[in-house]
Amino acid sequence: MATATFTFLSEVPENPVHLRGDLHQVYGALVFDGGDYVSGGIAVPDATVLLDEILHIEVGHARASAGVTAAYIPTTGKLFVWDEDNTSGIEAEYAAAAISATFPVVVTGRKSA
């Protein structure tokens, strides 16, 4: 089973960055470990990104993985990954196969004082 680990951007040493009230943003990357992707997405634990509650994750393109995209689905709290078939341009959820990819992310969420 694939897991996503979070690494922080060294250019933003004050992660998580305070926005206002209890809202914060965290800048970094989600790194998939090479395990098998599981249909239905991969959970991103709040504590992984130093937040008490994740509200949104903006996911960038994985540069080393052409045709692979990801999106955070707030209703499930999971990161879904899609793969383009390299022929038609049509994307489908990533197959149950090993996934090694790094996605740049900006995570917005709540953090108590």
pLDDT tens digits for range 42-59: 887 777 788 899 999 999
- What is the torsional sign of CA 32, 2, 49, 108? positive
- So what CATH class is 4-110? mainly beta
Q: Which residue has the higher pLDDT, 44 or 3?
A: 44
Task: Parse the chain into domains and list their residue ranges.
Answer: 4-110
pLDDT tens digits for range 8-38: 877 777 888 999 999 999 998 888 777 778 8
Mean pLDDT of the chain: 83
Q: Is the pLDDT of residue 1 over 70?
A: no
Q: Is the pLDDT of residue 113 over 90?
A: no
What is the DSSP annotation of the chain?
---EEEEE-TT-TTPSEEEETTEEEEEEEEEE-SSB--TT-EE--GGGGT-SEEEEEEE---TTSTTEEEEEETTTTEEEEEEE-SSS--EEEPPSSB---EEEEEEEEE---
Q: Which residue has the higher pLDDT, 109 or 4?
A: 109
Q: Give me the percent of the chain exceeding a pLDDT of 70.
A: 94
Cα separation values, 15 from 47, 49, 60, 66, Å: 13, 9, 18, 29
Q: Is the pLDDT of residue 3 over 90?
A: no
